[in-house]
Structure 1
Amino acid sequence: MFGRPKSIRLLREDIVRFMEMREIGARQILVYMGHLHKDLKKKDKADYFSFVDLGNIPTCPIGTDGRDLSQHIADQLEAVCRDNICLIPYNIRYHWILTIVNEDKNMIYLLDSTSNRIRDDTWKTIVTNGVKMYNASKGISKGPGFKILTGNLKQSGSVECGYCVMRYMKEMVDCDDPQLEKMVSFFLG
């Protein structure tokens, strides 16, 4: 799934937290990504979507210049991208967002389950620089476009963001039309 084998261990506490719809972490999202990847393989759509191992991308880049994180993203894209759509869940200041890299269109989308959230340009810069590094390794000089989307699936409280990110990923991989721009219509409501 990430271009290499990976095992994840869920603790009993992780499962209970998920069942009780409490705040979830990276382990639960990684397991869910594994489920989606297996489902994509069954449907023979695994070559169209890829997932970035969020365990290799440290969270909350506050106080750093972001070069190391951008390089992590470039390395992950190198390992998994094959002219497809790459999904990157990311936790920024205790809030999950979904970053979508459409390599074919050289476009980055950021999906957020809150409409009034203060945007953090640090993550945008880190992802954009990571894609630029990846593009440079492929001989592409044009920088990627960037678009922030507010999903029509809104969180009602303070802990649903992880569940919204999982739903966004599910809706994308379940979409029959492999055109990302048409999938995005789901998020715009």
Structure 2
Amino acid sequence: MSCKYIYSHVVRLLNESDTICIEFEDAMFGRPKSIRLLREDIVRFMEIREIGARQILVYMGHLYKELKKKDKADYFSFLDPGNIPTCPIGTDDRDLSQHIADQLEAVCRDSICLIPYNTGYHWILTIVNEDKNMIHLLNSTSNRNRDDTWKTIVTNGVKMYNASKGISKGPGFKILTGNLKQSGSVECGYCVMRYMKEIVDCDDPQLEKMFAGCIKNQYYTQCQYDEVRSEWSEFVYSYVGA
């Protein structure tokens, strides 16, 4: 399903107050979850403007659906980006760390857990690996002024989760630098989608090999963005009129 078709459908047929209800399987987040996708959410996505948690959540729903088709849903888990509030710079928020631990408890199997997080004005992707002893981070820019705050929060959250399982060893943390970047100022959410797609599509996602080295001045192309945008549109269209 082309992005142009969804865009045309929304512009012509949806009013400002109309919504599309997207429902997610309980197993995806360990609880019932649904969202109301607004007309503006779809228009912003189609016009490649800044996006928020709802648009990213929709793409996670697409990935989970594809994983189920391939009998790979047990290899990956997801944390709801709309359920992780932004923490102010320079704070060590224990409540937010406990929130992360609780979500991990709800969804984690022996799986790679994907956690999109918004630092306030920028999306990054955090990956907690299978045995919960390493946390990786992918950032589509070189600006990491908020990474340290998030590093503390997510590391403490994984520590709390591990402690609940009788694991005393704390996780390591590594920022991966061998990933393609964004060339503009608004593409961070789309980059997070690409990172998740590349990880999920890989038969053996060894992150430090996948994103090895340090890539500078190499950016995602419009074609690569359009690939995830088309998948997003297809998923949304399956709920149109539902």
Task: Tell me the TM-score normalized by structure 2.
Answer: 0.72
Deviates more, 1:173-182 or 1:48-57: 173-182
Tell me how far apart the structure 2 counterparts of residues 118 and 64 of structure 1 sit (CA, whole Å). Answer: 13
Q: Summarize the alignment of residues 1-189 of structure 1 with structure 2, pairs less than 5 Å apart.
A: 1-62=28-89, 64-104=91-131, 106-183=133-210
Deviates most, 132-141 or 96-105: 96-105
- In the alignment, the residues of structure 2 paired with residue 45 and residue 11 of structure 1 have an alpha-carbon distance, to the nearest angstrom, of 30
Kindly report structure 1 stretches of 4+ aligned residues shifted beyond 2 Å.
60-65, 115-120, 178-183, 185-189
Q: How has the CA–CA distance of structure 1 residues 65 and 187 changed in structure 2, closer, same or farther, with 3 Å as cutoff? A: farther
Give the 3 Å change call, closer, same or farther, for CA 127–186 of structure 1 in structure 2: farther
Change beyond 3 A, Cα 1:116–1:187:
farther
Cα distance, 1:186–1:154 mapped onto 2, change above 3 Å: farther
Q: Shift of residue 84 of structure 1? A: 1.0
The Cα shift of 1:29 comes to 0.3
SS at match of 1:105: coil
| Pairwise CA distance, 1:145 | 0.5
SS in 1 for 2:155: helix
| Matched-pair identity in % | 91
From the CA coordinates, give the structure whose radius of gyration is larger. 2
Q: For the structure 1 residues 188 and 137, does the alpha-carbon distance in structure 2 shift closer, same or farther, using more than 3 Å as the test? A: farther
- Aligned-residue CA RMSD in angstroms? 6.1
Superposition deviation, residue 75 in structure 1? 0.3
Deviates more, 1:110-119 or 1:51-60: 110-119
Change (3 A) 1:64 1:187: farther
1:186 to 1:168, Cα distance in 2 relative to 1, 3 A: farther
Name the TM-score, length of structure 1 as normaliser. 0.91
Q: Deviations over 1:24-74 (max 9, x none)?
A: 000000111011000000011000000001222111333643101100100
SS in structure 1 at match of 2:37: coil
- Residues 106-130 of structure 1, C-alpha deviation per residue, up to 9 Å, x if partnerless? 1000100112443531110000000
63 and 131 in structure 1: CA distance in 2 versus 1, 3 angstrom threshold: same
Q: Distance in 2 between matches of 1:170 and 1:81?
A: 19
Alignment check: 8 A CA contact 2:128 2:134 kept: yes
Q: Structure 2: give runs of 5+ residues left out of the alignment.
A: 1-27, 211-237
